[in-house]
């Protein structure tokens, strides 16, 4: 197993297992908290409702005021620790179910029905900025002011934006994100089922750091596929319709956010842009409805992925309308709850992964040393992913 | 968040996270083991049967001899560790299923069919006093002689005593017990469903230590609700009929014992006293039968509570014949497996909780220092809880 | 609890809790890895298929080449850690699903479609010898050359060899193996159901070390039952037909291998020899088919065992075609995930267990000290277990 010492050194530098750990106080956790993070589909939070969320190993309460504005506050009431989402939304405020303490969207306590007057104004919980973009609610969990919003541009072309149910994936977010940086996997993982026609030739991979993140190229016979990676965890890429979609809507643009729930679980918050307009919309929606019915009937792709990982099922045995999802989850979660990056053998096809790790490692080193970090700029809307063929 | 330093100091003293931990050797575990502890419904143990029980993180074998007497012995056979409840009860003795070693109710080995004569008399396992009261079997797991029995008086009025299935609650016993010390929660937690008509006005809470435990008062407009807390973990209180009971039997008296299974799981051993007599009994029993059928069909309240805690269901969506149970479990278990008492903001409505913690903290300090503990006396039967309106 | 000091010392020496721990680097793990270990039924691995296996807390990939030969290689691809069994078998090689790296049965990388030429020959994963015997696939996970194969002789009599589904048992392998050394348990554990007629009289137990392991005797009224224990974890014994078999095939010969999956889970790899020949075969196979249908309909014996261990069911309540399995699993797993051998009270009926522990403890001491270990010889095929009555 002789390895070129130069490459070995580069790999050691590239390997950064700490990038996987995002709990409070971890270097990567501190870094990710400096960006807007998707936390929920906008459609999953009706006005006047509250729900618990878990992001990077910390719990929060997300609620939407009567007027429609989303708010993010602490998970527990400061009184005796009841979960705030059990309570009621009243106007733009939320009231704890346990003893009726009421808080506004900034976390200030407004009422304590059974306590002495004057106690309420001394009590405050933390609140966190919350905004919406492309059908997703984003939160900001860092110190100081959040960066510019939105975190990445919307598509400029006409069409539909869709947000599928955000799947919970039984592994660390990083192996999911790194899979999205890895075009070569398509030629093998997704060959069965034939979803990615035209992409089974192996591309030459290259990548470049940009002012907003990283751009990645896959070159095949002079044709170039372009994918975007917005800092710190969103991949924008062209993908084929799901296996069960019968081609409706054609290849679409995917914004894929890989969000840590905790170190061993992640959630994918997704926005699709499907370029159908005018008369094409109605038949597309009909197809989509049928596909969704098939999908609901087929059960979660993650369950099948787990059976494959355990050896109880083989890919070849699976009929599922989102076979690509089954394949992706099995391969990524199959790397382990947190992939072992100390024993990798990276090669030239891993170029984009190596560059991304190097960028982040540089930023983490600056953060640790108290040096200024790179000031990421908003991405120009005209830089878009392309299929290249 | 400026707080009166005097109150802060008091709260710090009141806060005693160690009260939650009851495993062998812990201060609170040692204290609780000085009292009789409910371990099983009498009706759940037929003569000649054995079952495993787990109390304060330790396992035991409970069996009932052919003559009806309950016995508590070690969980495992001293030979090679088989579970004793797998074996057979023979008269007042129990025989291990693995190699037939037979023990009497004191733990003395009587027979070892495949061993040398004389070995049996050298082998003994531990046994623990066991008694019955109000439909419950109690055990004593402490050193030395147990205190007087019964641990608290039976109701003197005529009526029925009922023991519902003891629910297993997915959190520490202490937040359940403290909830029972907290009358204000009723005004909020149980408002939905309307079970507690007449109790939604906020009471003034006060509490006093007694020779048998603590008495608690909830004053509303000159009317006083009285609840009893027998040392160390039994609350006696007047409660409304369950939501699905259609009012049958009226408000009843509840003895509620909060028993740790381990530090993150507890079990409620309950005796209800329903004051129906004479001609009222038959129609009441009919209602009760219907209610029990509804309850069985509705599934465990704890399952619904878990869905609410996780944000998959809202209280408002739930129809369950014991809605109060769903509400109570969600709020209590929602405080976490073991509630964080270091970050509370207690107020005047928490008066009874503060006093109870102070009493126990004083006793634990004495126990640790080897000083004599308070000698709790039997409670007089005429001191009873009242509804007050 | 006065104990003869001499016996106490002997018991202390006999007690060897480390014998239960078999992870990599543990003394017992190192010892067991010096022998062939059953890992899978031959029938459960078709040509061209792969599956993950877990043996002694380590994961591997088992696959069968197109030509039928079994191969054992690492669990993960050395590139980026994908599970190898997700890939494809090609001829006698296996290809990773993630990026198409292809390895032969020795672990040598043959192809890396997206990498530079020359990288593949520098990459190798580990491989492990794999062989088949009596319907089971065996692997060798130790250093150096494996011992002679097969690890124990096949039956010489005519008849059928059967391999039931290998059950996963929720406890350490050692309490299962020790149960197989313990004939006295039959008189008690299996009395209910009446499976072992003729064996309920208590035997006198004795055991002797042999050049291939240990031979054990159970003497009753001048009749001797003989059982064999091949080093290190295979028991060969005569057993009655399962309760649901209606006696078909009569008492049969059982090879029972107790294989650690990890320290708290084990798997039994079993070969039965049923002495039916000629015209008796057809009616036997008919009975067997019916029995297998009953067994499939009855559900896993382990599930019932778990209910018994938790006190939710009693043995007397159970109707299951393999009641003996329910009884054995409940008793063995009921000793705990890893039985506590520090608090045993062993007696003369444990003679065989004590001798076996002593043999292994001696070998482990030699292994630790770097002294030569006993060189176990192949067992002569004519030494067979007998029922003795």
3-state secondary structure C225-283: EEEEEECCCEEEEEECCCHHHCCCCCCEEEEEEEEEEECCEEEEEEEEEECCCHHHHHH
Res. B179 pLDDT band, cuts 50 70 90: very high
Residue A99 has pLDDT above 60, yes or no: yes
pLDDT digits (tens, 9 = 90+) for B98-142: 999 999 999 999 999 999 999 999 999 999 999 999 999 999 999
Per-residue pLDDT averaged across A325-343, rounded? 96
pLDDT digits (tens, 9 = 90+) for C301-352: 999 999 999 999 999 999 998 899 999 999 999 999 999 999 999 999 999 9
How distant is the alpha carbon of residue C82 from its chain centre? 29
Q: Are C254 and C237 in contact (CB under 8 A)?
A: yes
pLDDT digits (tens, 9 = 90+) for B277-286: 999 999 999 9
Q: Considering Cα of A281, then A287, then A292, then A295, what sign does the dihedral take?
A: negative
Q: What does the pLDDT read at residue C105?
A: 97
Enumerate residues 6+ apart whose C-beta is below 8 A from A6: none
The β-bridge partners of C235 are C229, C256
For the ranges A189-203, A279-293, C76-90, the lowest mean pLDDT is seen at A189-203
Res. A193 pLDDT band, cuts 50 70 90: confident
How far is the C-alpha of B163 from the C-alpha of B153, rounded, in Å?
16
How far is the C-alpha of B43 from the C-alpha of B163, rounded, in Å?
9
Name the minimum distance, in Å, from the CA of A82 to any CA of chain B.
5
From A188, A334, A350, residue closest to C83, measured CB to CB: A334
How far is the C-alpha of C19 from the C-alpha of C360, rounded, in Å?
8
Cβ distance of C184 and B99 shorter than 8 Å: yes
Furthest-apart CA pair in chain C: how many Å? 76
Cβ distance of C113 and A350 shorter than 8 Å: no
From C315, C345, C349, residue closest to B123, measured CB to CB: C345
Q: What does the pLDDT read at residue C148?
A: 96
Other C-beta atoms closer than 10 Å to the C-beta of B150 total: 15
Residues above pLDDT 90, as percent of chain B: 84
Tokens read off for A219: 């070159």
Chain B residues within 8 angstroms (CB to CB) of chain A = 1-3, 184-185, 187-189, 202, 308-311, 314-315, 330-331, 334-336, 339-340, 343-350
Residue A14 has pLDDT above 50, yes or no: no
Other C-beta atoms closer than 10 Å to the C-beta of B345 total: 20
- Helix, strand, or coil (residue C207): strand
From B79, B115, B122, residue closest to C1, measured CB to CB: B122
pLDDT digits (tens, 9 = 90+) for C94-127: 999 999 999 999 999 999 999 999 999 999 999 9
Q: What does the pLDDT read at residue B366?
A: 95
Other C-beta atoms closer than 10 Å to the C-beta of C277 total: 12
Nearest to A231 by CA among A79, A364, A71: A364
Name the minimum distance, in Å, from the CA of A181 to any CA of chain C.
13
- Helix, strand, or coil (residue A80): coil
How far is the C-alpha of C73 from the C-alpha of C84, rounded, in Å?
9
Question: What b/e readout covers A21-39, taking b as 16+ CB neighbours within 10 angstroms?
Answer: bbeeebbbbbbbbbbbbbb
Cβ distance of C80 and A349 shorter than 8 Å: no
Q: What does the pLDDT read at residue A248?
A: 77
* The pairing of beta strand A223-230 with beta strand A213-220: antiparallel
The β-bridge partners of A238 are A253
**Residue C188, class by beta-carbon neighbours within 10 Å (0-12 exposed, 13-18 middle, 19+ buried)?**
buried
Region of A76 on the Ramachandran plot (φ > 0 left; ψ -120 to 50 alpha; else beta)? beta
The pTM (predicted TM-score) of the whole model is: 0.92
Tokens read off for C118: 């020359």
Tokens read off for B383: 């001191």
Question: What b/e readout covers A166-186, taking b as 16+ CB neighbours within 10 angstroms?
Answer: bbebbbbbbbbbbbbbbbbbb
* The pairing of beta strand A252-262 with beta strand A265-274: antiparallel
Res. B17 pLDDT band, cuts 50 70 90: very low
Cβ distance of A187 and C100 shorter than 8 Å: yes
**Chain B partners of A52 at a C-beta cutoff of 8 Å?**
309-311
Name the minimum distance, in Å, from the CA of C74 to any CA of chain A.
13
How far is the C-alpha of A202 from the C-alpha of C101, rounded, in Å?
13
Region of A81 on the Ramachandran plot (φ > 0 left; ψ -120 to 50 alpha; else beta)? left
Region of C388 on the Ramachandran plot (φ > 0 left; ψ -120 to 50 alpha; else beta)? left
Tokens read off for C214: 């240990």
pLDDT digits (tens, 9 = 90+) for C17-59: 489 999 999 999 999 999 999 999 999 999 999 999 999 999 9
**Chain A partners of B350 at a C-beta cutoff of 8 Å?**
80
Q: Are A155 and A237 in contact (CB under 8 A)?
A: no
Tokens read off for A265: 């679980």
Determine which of A44, A48, A51, A80 to mutate to test the interface with B (most B C-beta atoms within 10 Å).
A80
Determine which of A51, A81, A125, A261 to mutate to test the interface with B (most B C-beta atoms within 10 Å).
A81
Q: What does the pLDDT read at residue C239?
A: 87
Per-residue pLDDT averaged across A309-316, rounded? 95
- Helix, strand, or coil (residue C352): helix
| N-terminal to C-terminal alpha carbon distance within chain A | 39
How far is the CA of B230 from the CAs of A96, A184, B148, C50, in angstroms? 30, 69, 13, 63
Res. B334 pLDDT band, cuts 50 70 90: very high
Compare all CA atoms of chain A with the CA of C81 and give the residue at the minimum distance: A335
pLDDT digits (tens, 9 = 90+) for B186-225: 989 998 776 666 667 899 999 999 999 999 999 998 999 9
Residue C198 has pLDDT above 90, yes or no: no
Cβ distance of B349 and A99 shorter than 8 Å: yes
Other C-beta atoms closer than 10 Å to the C-beta of B17 total: 13
How far is the CA of C93 from the CAs of A311, C41, C49, in angstroms? 18, 21, 11
- Average pLDDT for chain C: 92
Compare all CA atoms of chain C with the CA of B51 and give the residue at the minimum distance: C311
Tokens read off for C278: 């000629």
Other C-beta atoms closer than 10 Å to the C-beta of B297 total: 8
How far is the C-alpha of A183 from the C-alpha of A386, rounded, in Å?
13
From B187, B334, B348, residue closest to A86, measured CB to CB: B334
Interface predicted TM-score of the whole assembly (ipTM), two decimals: 0.92
Residues above pLDDT 70, as percent of chain A: 93
Res. C244 pLDDT band, cuts 50 70 90: low
**Chain B partners of A80 at a C-beta cutoff of 8 Å?**
335, 339, 344-346, 350
DSSP A240-291: PPPGGGTTTT-SEEEEEEEEEEETTEEEEEEEEEE---GGGHHHHHHHHHHH
Residue A12 has pLDDT above 60, yes or no: no
Name the minimum distance, in Å, from the CA of C294 to any CA of chain B.
25
Cβ distance of C82 and A184 shorter than 8 Å: no
Q: Are C320 and B85 in contact (CB under 8 A)?
A: no
Residue C9 has pLDDT above 60, yes or no: no
Chain A residues within 8 angstroms (CB to CB) of chain C = 1-3, 184-185, 187-189, 202, 308-311, 314-315, 330-331, 334-336, 339-340, 343-350
Q: Are C238 and C231 in contact (CB under 8 A)?
A: no
Nearest to C288 by CA among C158, C169, C199, C161: C161
Q: What does the pLDDT read at residue A18?
A: 85
From B81, B114, B123, residue closest to C202, measured CB to CB: B114
Between chain A and chain C, the number of residue pairs with CB atoms below 8 A apart is: 75
Q: Are A163 and A257 in contact (CB under 8 A)?
A: no
Cβ distance of A349 and C78 shorter than 8 Å: no
Tokens read off for A334: 């199959």
Determine which of B81, B101, B113, B165 to mutate to test the interface with C (most C C-beta atoms within 10 Å).
B81
Cβ distance of A112 and B187 shorter than 8 Å: no
Cβ distance of B335 and A81 shorter than 8 Å: yes
Between chain B and chain C, the number of residue pairs with CB atoms below 8 A apart is: 76
Name the minimum distance, in Å, from the CA of B346 to any CA of chain A.
6
Measured at the CA of B129, the angle between CA C310 and CA C188, to 5 degrees, comes to 45
Cβ distance of B315 and A81 shorter than 8 Å: no
How far is the C-alpha of B26 from the C-alpha of B220, rounded, in Å?
40
How far is the C-alpha of A181 from the C-alpha of A237, rounded, in Å?
10
How far is the C-alpha of C294 from the C-alpha of C305, rounded, in Å?
18
Residue C257 has pLDDT above 80, yes or no: yes
Tokens read off for A115: 């306590």
- Helix, strand, or coil (residue C344): coil
Q: What does the pLDDT read at residue B14?
A: 47
Compare all CA atoms of chain C with the CA of A345 and give the residue at the minimum distance: C79
Name the minimum distance, in Å, from the CA of B176 to any CA of chain A.
13
Preceding amide of A150 cis, omega within 30: yes
Q: What does the pLDDT read at residue B2?
A: 42
Enumerate residues 6+ apart whose C-beta is below 8 A from C89: C47, C48, C49, C50, C63, C64, C65, C66, C95
Measured in degrees and rounded to the nearest 5, phi and psi for residue C337 equal -55, -45
Per-residue pLDDT averaged across A311-334, rounded? 94
Res. C246 pLDDT band, cuts 50 70 90: confident
pLDDT digits (tens, 9 = 90+) for A107-146: 999 999 999 999 999 999 999 999 999 999 999 999 999 9
Per-residue pLDDT averaged across C6-10, rounded? 56
Only one residue has tokens 């679409």, namely: A252
Name the minimum distance, in Å, from the CA of A20 to any CA of chain C.
15
Per-residue pLDDT averaged across B49-75, rounded? 98
Nearest to C54 by CA among C39, C37, C36: C39
From C1, C308, C349, residue closest to B114, measured CB to CB: C349
pLDDT digits (tens, 9 = 90+) for B281-315: 999 999 999 998 999 999 999 999 999 999 999 99
pLDDT digits (tens, 9 = 90+) for A44-95: 999 999 999 999 999 999 999 999 999 999 999 999 999 999 999 999 999 9
Cβ distance of B97 and C315 shorter than 8 Å: yes
């Amino acid at each position: 197993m002789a390895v070129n010492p130069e490459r070995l050194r580069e790999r050691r530098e590239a390997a950064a297992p700490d990038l996987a750990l995002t709990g409070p106080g971890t270097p990567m956790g501190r870094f990710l908290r400096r960006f807007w993070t998707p936390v929920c589909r906008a459609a999953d939070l009706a006005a006047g409702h509250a729900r618990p969320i878990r992001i990077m190993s910390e719990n929060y309460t997300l609620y939407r005021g009567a007027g429609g504005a989303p708010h993010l506050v602490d998970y527990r009431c400061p009184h005796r620790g009841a979960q705030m989402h059990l309570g009621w939304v009243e106007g733009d405020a939320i009231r704890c179910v346990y003893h009726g303490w009421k808080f506004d969207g900034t976390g200030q306590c407004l009422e304590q029905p059974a306590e002495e007057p004057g106690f309420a104004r001394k009590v405050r919980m933390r609140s966190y900025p919350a905004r919406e973009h492309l059908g997703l609610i984003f939160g900001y969990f860092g110190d100081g002011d959040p960066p510019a919003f939105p975190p990445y541009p919307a598509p400029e072309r006409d069409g539909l934006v869709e947000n599928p149910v955000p799947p919970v994936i039984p592994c660390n977010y990083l192996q999911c994100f790194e899979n999205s940086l890895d075009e070569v996997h398509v030629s093998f993982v997704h060959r069965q089922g034939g979803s990615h026609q035209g992409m089974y030739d192996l591309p030459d991979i290259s990548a470049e750091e940009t002012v907003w993140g990283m751009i990645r190229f896959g070159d095949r016979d002079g044709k170039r596929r372009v994918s975007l990676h917005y800092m710190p965890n969103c991949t924008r890429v062209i993908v084929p319709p799901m296996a069960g979609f019968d081609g409706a809507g054609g290849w679409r643009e995917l914004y894929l956010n890989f969000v840590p729930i905790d170190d061993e679980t992640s959630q994918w918050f997704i926005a699709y842009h499907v370029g159908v307009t005018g008369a094409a919309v109605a038949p597309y929606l009909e197809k989509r409805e049928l596909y969704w019915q098939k999908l609901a009937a087929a059960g979660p792709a993650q369950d099948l992925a787990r059976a494959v990982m355990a050896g109880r099922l083989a890919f070849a045995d699976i009929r599922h309308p989102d076979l690509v999802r089954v394949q992706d989850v099995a391969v990524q979660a199959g790397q382990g709850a947190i992939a072992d990056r100390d024993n990798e053998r990276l090669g030239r096809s891993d170029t984009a992964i190596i560059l991304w790790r190097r960028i982040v490692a540089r930023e983490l080193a600056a953060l640790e040393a108290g040096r200024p970090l790179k000031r990421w700029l908003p991405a120009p809307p005209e830089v878009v992913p392309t299929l290249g063929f």
